[in-house]
Structure 1
Amino acid sequence: MHECAILSTRNEHADAANALMIDRFPGKQKVFYSFDSVDDDLCNNYPLDFLNSITPNGLPPHELKVKRNCHVILLRNLDPHNGLCNGTWLVVQGFQNNSIDAEIVNGQHAGKRVFIPRIPMSPSEDLTLPFKFKRKQFPIRLSFAMTINKAQGQTIPNVGIYLPEPVKRCIS
């Protein structure tokens, strides 16, 4: 499975395809929920239900579903010297409440077992949010499907394209 991927134009399309695939993937599922907060929100202007419902670019989802042997992609540079870079593909080998045991499947560190911790993350300069958002979650997302942008620089022998809505043609 590390030699194929579904590419789509938007995160929400990739997330929908990933949700469908993980439900069909064999094995026992574990769901990890993020801890979301807003800096300097003393009056609680942003309810947790709202914060949990958003997934800014570059952040993992609030509800992360994984199963043993499913493929995920790393969203942050955790330890570049040991192969844990943004875009690294991993296979989940096991999980606890605060760590995921995984094996690197691409690059010079392929076959190496690693532990992925939950970490606090903020979106990079997301101009659509009027507040400073933080999410504590595992810095991974399922990689059955991903955006075309996330796949840049990857070597994927077999690719499917998922386009649930028309693609607009831009002429410059």
Structure 2
Amino acid sequence: MGKDKRAFPLSEIDEALDMANGASREIFKESMISVDHEHVALSDSLNVEQRVNYDEILAVVDSGEGGKDAYLNKLIDNIFLMLDANLADPNYITLRAILSTRNECVDTINMKMIGHLQWDEMEYYSFDRAKDDLHNYYPPEFLNSLTPNGLPPYVLKLKVNYPIILLRNIDPANGLCNRTRLIVWGFQRNAIDAEIVLGMHAGKRVFLPRIPLCPSDDEMFPFQFKRKQFPVGLALP
């Protein structure tokens, strides 16, 4: 279903050989390729609010001011308007998203967003070990630096009212399944007080325990890695 290549206005080709160095044909003239407005009409379909946000983001990008952090802060401010005031509203959370192709980018965005909030904060540290490592080949500092796909980080930073997502099936009969979305309401030493925000169990208050977790890919490391941590990740972007 592609476009015929003959329809593209390609640059002219020099049919002669370059006798000085024996190089083959080269493009000797650049042509100005006109914009096909049918293919770039996305901005024309925006509503008033989206248009304002779109123009503000482009203005920051075009100005070249502030670098990457400024662009990211501007993006967050425009997608999640009045974040502090609306974060506890499940509809506000589920109707907004920032898409990314890399988990590292998602983590960066979440850390930026959690820094925007003025709510109470808690940091939970995991207990990491390599099974059957009798000679301590893998020190704790090395194990703490690992964050395999599908596992929470060594330092899990949370704030009240921030949305989280469950990373394991804990109690499916009561709505605690892998990918369940919740809102944090409070912290205890060995439990997180949260509320399910989507699905048939929406509104149910639950307490999430700290549990032992292993990577889904057993061959990811030359040892069996185990992390005891709350099985949740930050869920806004």
Q: What band does the TM-score fall into relative to the shorter chain?
A: 0.7 to 0.9
Matching residue's letter, 1:59: L
**Aligned equivalents of 2:161 and 2:223: distance in 1?**
37
Which residue matches 2:206? Answer: 114
Which residue matches 2:115? Answer: 23
1:87-113 Cα deviation digits (max 9, x unpaired):
100000001110000000000000000
Which residue matches 2:93? Answer: 2
Counting matched residue pairs gives 145
Which residue matches 2:162? Answer: 70
1:98 and 2:199 aligned? no
1:125-147 Cα deviation digits (max 9, x unpaired):
243311100000000011122xx
**Aligned equivalents of 2:220 and 2:173: distance in 1?**
34
1:143-162 Cα deviation digits (max 9, x unpaired):
122xxxxxxxxxxxxxxxxx
**Aligned equivalents of 2:170 and 2:98: distance in 1?**
25
Matching residue's letter, 1:78: I
Which residue matches 2:180? Answer: 88
Matching residue's letter, 1:2: I
Gaps of 5+ in 1: 146-172
Matching residue's letter, 2:155: E
| TM-score scaled by length of structure 1 | 0.81
- Compare the two structures and name the one with the higher helix fraction: 2
Residue 112 of structure 2 aligns to a residue in which SS? helix
Residue 84 of structure 1 aligns to a residue in which SS? coil
Which residue matches 1:154? Answer: none
Q: Does the 8 A contact of 1:2 with 1:105 survive in 2?
A: no
- Compare the two structures and name the one with the higher strand fraction: 1
1:125 and 2:217 aligned? yes
**Aligned equivalents of 2:120 and 2:199: distance in 1?**
28
1:41 and 2:102 aligned? no
**Aligned equivalents of 2:137 and 2:98: distance in 1?**
38
Identity %: 60
Residue 129 of structure 1 aligns to a residue in which SS? coil
**Aligned equivalents of 1:7 and 1:127: distance in 2?**
29
- Deviation for aligned residue 1:8: 1.4
Which residue matches 2:148? Answer: 56
Q: CA RMSD in A?
A: 1.0
Matching residue's letter, 2:229: Q
| TM-score scaled by length of structure 2 | 0.60
Q: Which protein has the larger Cα radius of gyration, Structure 1 or Structure 2? A: 2
Q: Does the 8 A contact of 1:59 with 1:121 survive in 2?
A: yes
Matching residue's letter, 2:145: S
Which residue matches 1:164? Answer: none
